[in-house]
Amino acid sequence: MRLADVPVVGDLLESGAEDRVFDSLLLVGPALILVIAVLGRSAVTIGLAAAYVLFFVAYVLYRGVRH
């Protein structure tokens, strides 16, 4: 079974900016928030969250430069 065949997830993958990286960020987002809620604030969770935000910004800029 492909990821795109999963209900809801499939619709999400079809709807967005037609870019698998953004799709992945969308799918990883809630999982990361859940991890933070469970584990609390630590160097690792701060690192993960900061990496997520920075990667999002950097990837938007990268797409812009490449465009």
Partner 1 sequence: MNEAARTVGRDLGRIFQALAGLLFVSILVPLVWREYYAIPGLFVSGLLPLLAGYVLTSRFRGAAQPGKLHGMIIAAMGWFCVAIFGSLPFLLIAWTVEFAPPILGDPSQTSTLAAFTNPINALFESMSGFTGTGLTMTDNEEVLPRTLQWWRSFIEWVGGVGVIVLTTAILARPGSGSLTLYESEARSERIHPSIVSTVQTIWWIFILFTFVSILLLWVVGMPIWGAINHGMTGLATGGFSITDNSIATYDSAAIDFALLPIMLLGSIAFPVHYLILQGDLRNLYADLQTRWVFIYMGIGTALLTVLVYIGDTYDSLFTAFRYGSFQFVSAATCAGFQTATDATNVALGRWPVQAQLTVVFGMVVGGAAGSTVGGIKLIRALTLLKGIRFRIADVFYPETAVRRLEINGRRLNEREVRQEFEEAAIIATLWFLFLGLGTFALLLLLPQGEYTLENVIFEVASAQGNVGLSAGITGPESLPTLGKVMFLFNMWIGRLEIIPVLVTLRAIFDRGGLYR
Point out which residues bind partner 1 (CB under 8 A): 11-12, 14-19, 22, 25-26, 29-30, 32-33, 36-37, 46, 49-50, 52-53, 56, 60-61, 63-64, 66-67
Supply the minimum distance, in Å, between the C-beta of residue 20 and partner 1.
13
Tokens describing residue 45: 């969770």
Supply the minimum distance, in Å, between the C-beta of residue 36 and partner 1.
6
The three-state DSSP-derived secondary structure of 20-48 is HHHHHHHHHHHHHHHHHHHHCCCHHHHHH
Q: Which is nearer to partner 1, 5 or 18 (CB)?
A: 18
Q: Are 5 and 35 in contact (CB under 8 A)?
A: no
